[in-house]
Structure 1
Amino acid sequence: LEIDIHDAIHYLHPVHFIWQQGYNMDLGANLVEINYCYQCKDGRHVWIQAGPPYPKLQNRYLNFFDCGNNRKAIQGVIGQWNALELEEKLAELGLPCCMVRDQGEWREHPQGKQLLQTPVIDIEKVADGEPRGLEPGDSAPLAGINVLDLTHVLAGPRSTMSLAEFGANVLHIAPPHHLDPKTINLGVNRGKKSAFLDLGDPNDEQKMRSLLPQADVFAFSYRPKVADRFGLTVEDILALNKKGIVCLSINAFGHDGVWKNRPGFDQNAQMVSGFSVTEGSREQPATSPVYYLNDLLTAYFAAAGMMVALLRRATEGGSYHVKVSLVRSCMWAQDLGLVSAEQYRSCPAADIFPRRLTDDPSAFTFPPKLVNEASPFGTITRLAPAIRYSDMPTIDLLPVVPYGSYPAVF
């Protein structure tokens, strides 16, 4: 197994390295006006995040602030609040806001203490059953594995894309009226079939339930209340799938503790955990140099956890629940330690990429290895695989397709 460190850095933000017909499809979440670190009247900061953006979240924030969609206007309102009070108020409304903390402060917080006791990849056996082996021979490692993928944003979809890269049959379910941006689809849904299901429709809800007995893996990255609402809790799934299944749950702040139901994005995790104070300062918190960190770390942890659970199902039998979270991943990164000040000063400030595809290596911080792929979207240029194996069957992945291109069947 071989990996280049620069390739690995690019894979912390692969959605920046997507070109469609030569034009960069940058997600642009860092350019969204509302996504920012704002100072409160007590001098503390809060991070507000409306996603890539998601219009529903953005509108709910702006309705609460009752101001224009620009940072100056939003700062004017936030500056009238104490940070902790605003964090709690927006949490009550289901909006992903967090007060910026340093590492020590977070690890003394009840949720931080909870996560310190939680494995980065938490794998729990939730039911007994007979062993169900993987396909033998020279086939791909996950050949014959059906993955029902009910995930969104980056961490969940990238985790199941990793399973597709090992040969799994992945069916991604998208809500027809609340789609992720196209760049997310291009970046983290390659190798999958994509189908629409509206779980608010009883017929579509029944279709989802009919797929679960056929699934070897069920991946879920919405908040727990969504699972409760649509009967997709681990207990519900075990009642439908008796052959043994691996369930994946991804969230922001962990699956136990006082914050388990709070929403949050990658940057919320950086800010609340103390990562951003270390990266910048208490007065000027900073995201990672590539803006992202935890989405993709969590995706790779999730993929590893699902594969370990599938191996346990093959050898021990039973069903398993794999749990990962954005903040726990960030705490893992913090525990790796810091480079020296000299090393830090010698590093580039960002991992840049051009808007138009070019052969000029100076357009990149570190020129990436890229590949072209024909797709229904035209020619897509993306990162080449970061990991090279000495002995791995060739796996011909499906090209990325528009959301809803397939029927909801395995």
Structure 2
Amino acid sequence: MKPGNRYLSDGTLNPLDILLSDLGFKPYFDGILSLSGSDPILKSPHYLGEAVSYVLALDAVGAASIWKYRTGKKNNISLSIYDAIHYLHPTHFIWQSGYKIDLGAESVPTNGLFRCADGRMIMIESGPPYRKLETGYLNFFNCGNNRNALGKVIAEWDALKLENALADLGLPGCIAYTRNEWLDHEQGKILARTPVVEIEKIASGHPVDFSHESMSPLSGIKVLDFTHVLAGPRSTRTLAEFGAHVLHISSPYHRDTLAQNFAVDHGKRSAYLDLTNSKDLEKMRELLSQADVFANSYRPSVVERFGLTAAEAAKMTKNGIIYLSVNAYGHEGPWQKRPGFDQNGQVASGFAVREGTLKNPKFSPVFYLTDLITAYFAAAGMMSALLRRAVEGGSYHVKVSLARSAMWVQELGVIDHEALGHAPEQDNYPYKLIVEDTPYGKLSHLSSAITFSDMPDIKLFPVSPFGAHEPRW
């Protein structure tokens, strides 16, 4: 053992140990897991480096557990907090043909915190932006598409009235609550008693073992990826990184951006289906009936409209399905159908107020938090459910949410201001890149932050244009 490292076996990685127990990986993992480095590595009162290290390690142990179950082979796992921190914002480490590519959400006028008439701050967010949301805000506020114009109109609203008015229109919006306010909030109370990764058995069935071809932990696993934005598709990219066959489905008329594709769709094949077309919808159901995993990050109304809910999916397959649902504020309660992005989760949960103050909330130092933490939780939940299906059979509904992930980060505790010392305000630590040939030319992205002692190399499918492949396995 290396001096200065912390080990799972010595009790110094207790939050990770709890997650491993909760997700059922501990009986399968008998290797050594070590983490080098500790917080604070950024000027944040939250344990950001350790939080992302824990969830990356959780995914690694999930893959190692399945590999041990399938082959009997043991793995030791190591990672550095200085490599892991980049995985809190991997979208900032992408280059195409030598040119930096970024989502640019930080500079979108309809993304940000604005002060209301009662002095409270409210967060609105339209994403990259998505035209429907951006247009929705501008029509509602009847103003120009710039922060000054938006700020003047929002300053005339009471925060709670505006929060509710936006919700009625299906537009993301939330007050910057303190942590205590959120824990007293009806939705916050529900999330506080909800596991950060919910795994619900929704149907019984015979055990379905992994295939006999053990080329990788998830070889032979078919993942039907019906996700968008970042959290959902990044979770299925993680499954692809461990050998799953991932088929991403999107509408030809409602695609994510090119930058998002570069960020989260490595390792997947990509096909179009227009689910408003009856033949395409039937094809989607046919694909689902043959899948092991169905991942969804659209709002509940979408899968309800097309008959693709968890309960309906469980009836479509003979072998049981692992069904993932990702949303903003949890899967029960008055906010379960409200839309929201990464920063909405930071703001509603109290994370942003603790990063700054009630009058001046701030996002994570790297802008992102909940999308990526939630993605890694989702991947771990799906791997846990696949193990359960192999052992006891059945179908499982895995549920995660952005706000609950932000709450988990807060539950790790806070760092005293004095202890922050000279911690940098930005992530300027050295990074390692992989450069690969793709249909888009040479793409550079982060290399893995995890080192395994005995895991096969997995050749990932290069990033492909949306709709580049046929919708078939």
Q: Same fold (TM over 0.5)?
A: yes
Aligned to 2:144: 68
Where does residue 234 of structure 1 map in the other structure? 310
Is 2:369 the counterpart of 1:293? yes
1:125 alignment partner, SS class:
strand
CA RMSD of aligned residues (A): 0.9
Q: Which moved more, 1:53-62 or 1:339-348?
A: 339-348
Counterpart of 1:37 in 2: which secondary structure?
A: strand
Q: Which amino acid aligns with 1:371?
A: I
Counterpart of 2:274 in 1: which secondary structure? coil
Stretches of structure 1 that go unaligned for 5 or more consecutive residues are 352-364
> Is residue 262 from structure 1 mapped to residue 325 from structure 2 by the alignment?
no
Does residue 386 (structure 1) correspond to residue 449 (structure 2)? The answer is: yes
Q: Corresponding residue for 1:356?
A: none
Q: Does the CA-based 8 Å contact 1:174-1:197 persist in structure 2?
A: yes
Mapping 1:394-405, distance limit 5 Å: 394-405=457-468
Deviation (angstroms), 1:242: 2.2
- Aligned-partner SS, 2:113: strand
Q: Which residue of 2 aligns with 1:196?
A: 272
Give the alignment of 1:200-349 within 5 angstroms.
Answer: 200-349=276-425
Tell me, in whole angstroms, the C-alpha distance in 2 between the residues paired with 1:216 and 1:338: 39
Deviation, 1:268, is 0.4
**Alpha-carbon offset, residue 137 of structure 1:** 6.0
Moved more, 134-143 or 39-48: 134-143
The percent of aligned pairs where both chains have the same amino acid is 56
Q: Which secondary structure does the structure 1 equivalent of 2:166 belong to? A: helix
Residue identity matched to 1:185: N
Map Cα deviations across residues 171-224 of structure 1 (whole Å, 9 max, x no partner): 000111111111111111000000001111111111101111100000000011
Post-superposition CA distance 1:345-378 (Å, at most 9, x none):
4221122xxxxxxxxxxxxx11201110110000
Tell me the number of residue pairs that the alignment of Structure 1 and Structure 2 aligns. 397
Correspondence for 2:438: 375
Letter of the structure 1 residue corresponding to residue 138 of structure 2: L
Conserved? CA contact 2:170–2:338, under 8 Å: yes
> Which ranges of 4 or more aligned residues in structure 1 deviate by more than 4 Å?
none
Q: Deviations over 1:81-103 (max 9, x none)?
A: 00000000000000000011000
Q: Deviations over 1:51-91 (max 9, x none)?
A: 11111110110000100000000011101100000000000
Q: Could you give the per-residue CA deviations for residues 243-267 of structure 1, whole angstroms, max 9, x where no partner exists?
A: 1110000000000111100000010
Cα displacement (A) at 1:406: 0.3
Structure 2 counterpart of 1:164, one-letter code: A
Residue 11 of structure 1: how far off its partner (Å) = 0.5
SS of 2:331's partner is coil
Query: How far did 1:9 drift?
Result: 0.9
Q: Which residue of 1 aligns with 2:201?
A: 125
| Residue 101 of structure 1, aligned match among 153, 157, 177 | 177
The 5-angstrom pairing of residues 110-149 of structure 1 reads 110-136=186-212, 138-149=214-225
- The code of the aligned residue for 1:204 comes to D
